[in-house]
């Protein structure tokens, strides 16, 4: 299965610069002036389309919000380490993203950020299973 996450944006160039700053790979074969396609993992893409381009798809008119409209979904994905999560969030903040909460659970480390168009991203790292201490006699 190939996954496309489609996001209408105010400014495709600004959104492209933000996601490029995250270190995500722009796919030039699926990008043009009105849309940028980023590979976020094999077979997984985020498509950043101008609001006009997004609206031309049909049946999405009510879904086109704006930067002041809270994201209706949180896109969560795992990374290989706590440091990778922190590094990605630091790059998002440096590129103009809004950093949110940090959750450090016994089983998972998770951070939050919103891009300049208000889309909510939640990278996390699943902690390796820790062997429970043997019960004492």
Examine the domain organization and report whether 47 and 85 are in the same domain. no
Q: Is 43 contained in some domain?
A: yes
Residue 80 structural domain: 74-131
Distance, CA of 125 to CA of 114 (rounded, Å): 18
Residue 96 is part of a domain; what is its CATH number?
A: 3.10.180.10
Residue 98 has pLDDT above 60, yes or no: yes
Q: Is 62 contained in some domain?
A: no
Question: What is the pTM for the complete model shown?
Answer: 0.80
Average pLDDT, the chain: 86
Strands 44-50, 35-41: parallel, antiparallel or unpaired by DSSP?
Answer: antiparallel
Cβ contact 19:48 at 8 Å: yes
Cβ contact 119:7 at 8 Å: yes
Examine the domain organization and report whether 7 and 35 are in the same domain. yes
Residue 97 has pLDDT above 90, yes or no: yes
Work out how many domains the chain is built from and give that number.
Answer: 2
Distance, CA of 77 to CA of 58 (rounded, Å): 29
Q: Is 64 contained in some domain?
A: no
Mean pLDDT, rounded, for 86-90: 98
Q: Is 88 contained in some domain?
A: yes
Q: Is 86 contained in some domain?
A: yes
Q: Is 65 contained in some domain?
A: no
């Amino acid at each position: 299965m190939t996954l496309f996450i489609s996001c209408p944006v105010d400014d495709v160039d600004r959104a492209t610069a933000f996601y490029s700053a995250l270190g995500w790979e722009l796919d030039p074969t699926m990008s043009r002036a009105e849309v940028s396609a980023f590979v976020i993992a094999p077979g997984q893409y985020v498509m950043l389309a101008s609001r006009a381009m997004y609206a031309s798809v049909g049946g999405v008119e009510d879904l086109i919000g704006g930067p002041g409209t809270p994201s209706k979904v949180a896109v969560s994905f795992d990374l290989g380490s706590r440091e990778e999560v922190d590094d990605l969030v630091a790059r998002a903040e440096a590129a103009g993203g809004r950093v949110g909460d940090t959750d450090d659970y016994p089983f998972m480390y998770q951070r939050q950020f919103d891009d300049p168009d208000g889309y909510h991203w939640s990278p996390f790292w699943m902690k390796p299973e820790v062997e429970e201490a043997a019960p004492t006699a």
